[in-house]
Chains A and B, each alone.
Chain A
Amino acid sequence: MPKVKLPRKSTNIDMTAMCDVAFLLLTFFMLATKFKPDEPVVVSTPSSISEIPIPDADIMLLTIDPNGRVFFSIDNKNMRKDLISAINTANNLGLTEAEMNTFAIGSSIGVPFSQLKSYLSAPPEMQKQYDKTVPGIPVDTVNSRENELAQWIDDARHLSGNKLRVCIKADADAVYPDYKKVIRTLENLKIFKFNLITSLKAVPPGTAAYEKQQAGVSQ
C-alpha cells in the first residue's frame, strides 16, 4: 500500500481570540467585583435560610472570633477619621495625626484604648501580627464606663446621625455568653434592631418556610 502523506501543519495557533477572551473576562472581573475587606480574624459564620443581603453602605461590623474577642469596624473612611479623633479626645489617648490616619485607612480594630497608640503606630505587617494576639475590645456589661465597645458604637452612631446599621459577624464556635455580652451592650444603647451575618443554606423541603417560598415562586 502506498503511504498516505499527511501534510505537515504548523503548530502556531492564532492567539488573538484567546487574548480577547482573557481580557474580556479581566474587564468583567475588574468592574463587577469589589475588594474583599481585610479582616483581622478568620470567622466562619453559621448558615441560615435568610436571604436578606447585607446593606451596601453605612454598616458597623462587630466581629466575634471563636475565642470571644470582639473587633469593631465601620465602612465609611471619612467617618473613621472623625470617629478616631472623637475617641482620642474623649479618652486622652494622645494619638498623632499619622496614627489617626492609620486608623482611617485600616480595617477592624480589636485593641483596648490603652493599647491603641502602640497598635496604630506599628507598621501594617506588625499590626497583622498583633491581631493574632490582641485581647479584643473590652466588653464589660457590669460597668458601663469600662465598656469600650459601647463607646465605640455610641460615638460612631452619633457621627453618622444614627444611620449606621449594626451587623454582627460571629464565628459559629463562639460561645453564647460572648455573644450575649455584645447584645447586652447594644441593648443598653437602645439598639434593638441588628443583623446577624450568616451564609446561605437551602430551605428544607416540607416546612412552613418552604411552602411559603414555593407559593412565592408560583405567583
Chain B
Amino acid sequence: MAELDTSSGGGHKKKGPGVKKGKKLSTRVDLTPMVDLGFLLITFFMYTTTMAKPKTMQINMPDNDKTLTEEQKNKVKESTAMTILLSRDHRVYYYEGIGSDPTNPPEIKVTYFRAKDGIRDAIIAKKQKVEQEKRSNPALTADDQTTILIKPDDNSTYDDVVNILDEMNINDIKVYAIVDITPVDKEFIEKTEQANAVQ
C-alpha cells in the first residue's frame, strides 16, 4: 500500500567484498496526520457551505392601478366569499361573506393554525359549501369560485401571513387576496377578544 517495494528482487545478494551494504530504510509513511487534515477540511467545507437551496413561494400581487374603474374590478360575491382576519398570538378569526352589511354583522369564529379543527377545516368546509351552492343556486355560475379575503391586522406576524398563504396552496384555493384590514374588522376582533376575556 503506502510503501515501496525496496527489497531487491531475488538473486545477487553479494555485491563484492568492498561494497558496503546500505542500511535499508522503511518507506512506510504515517498517513494519520494527512487523514486528520483531510477530515478537518471536510468539516470546514460542510459547515461553510449550503447544500440545499432555500425554497421560495411565488406571490403575484394584484395591480394597484388607480385608473381602473369600479366596474372593471371584480366584485366579490358575498355567498362565495370568506374573510380571514389574522391577529395577535397567531389567532385567526374568520367569518362567511365579506362583512359588507353593517346592520347584520357576521358570526365570527376564532381558531388557530393547527392540524385539527384549525383554519384548514374551516376553509375545506367553506369550499364544500360553495360547491353545493353552485349546484342549487342559479345565481352562481361555474366560474364562481371560493374567494378568500385575508386581512392581517397590525399585531399579526409575517409567519401568519405565510401560513395562511400556504393554506391557500394546501387547500387549492385559486382566488384569494391580501387586503388591508378595515376599522369594522378591527372592531370585530376587539369584540371577540372582549367576549372571550382575552387580555
Contacts and interface: CB of A to CB of B under 8 A. Distances in A.
B42 interface: yes
A143 B134 CA distance: 46
Contacts of B34: 15, 19
Interface stretch (A91-99, A102-110, A204-212): A204-212
A30 B162 CA distance: 34
A175 B31 contact: no
Interface string A31-56: 01111100000000111111111100
B69 interface: no
A46 B56 contact: no
A196 B38 contact: no
Contact of B158 (A34, A176, A186): A176
How many residues of A sit at the interface, in one of the four size bands?
Answer: 35 or more
Q: Interface of chain B, helix or strand or loop or mixed?
A: mixed
Contact of B161 (A30, A179, A186): A179
A154 interface: no
B124 to A, nearest CB: 8
A167 B51 CA distance: 19
How many residues of B sit at the interface, in one of the four size bands?
Answer: 35 or more
B157 to A, nearest CB: 6
A171 B115 CA distance: 23
Interface stretch (B100-108, B165-173, B184-192): B165-173
A44 to B, nearest CB: 9
Q: Interface of chain A, helix or strand or loop or mixed?
A: mixed
B57 interface: yes
Nearest to B166: A48
A177 interface: yes
Contact of A49 (B49, B115, B169): B169
B74 interface: no
Contacts of A32: 51
B54 interface: yes
Contact of A48 (B35, B41, B55): B55
Given A176-B152, A176-B160, A15 B32 contact: yes
A207 B171 contact: yes
Which 3 residue pairs spanning A and B have beta carbons closest together?
Answer: A22-B38, A33-B49, A15-B31
14 contacts: A15-B2, A15-B31, A15-B34, A17-B1, A18-B31, A22-B38, A48-B169, A50-B58, A64-B158, A174-B158, A176-B152, A176-B153, A198-B162, A207-B124
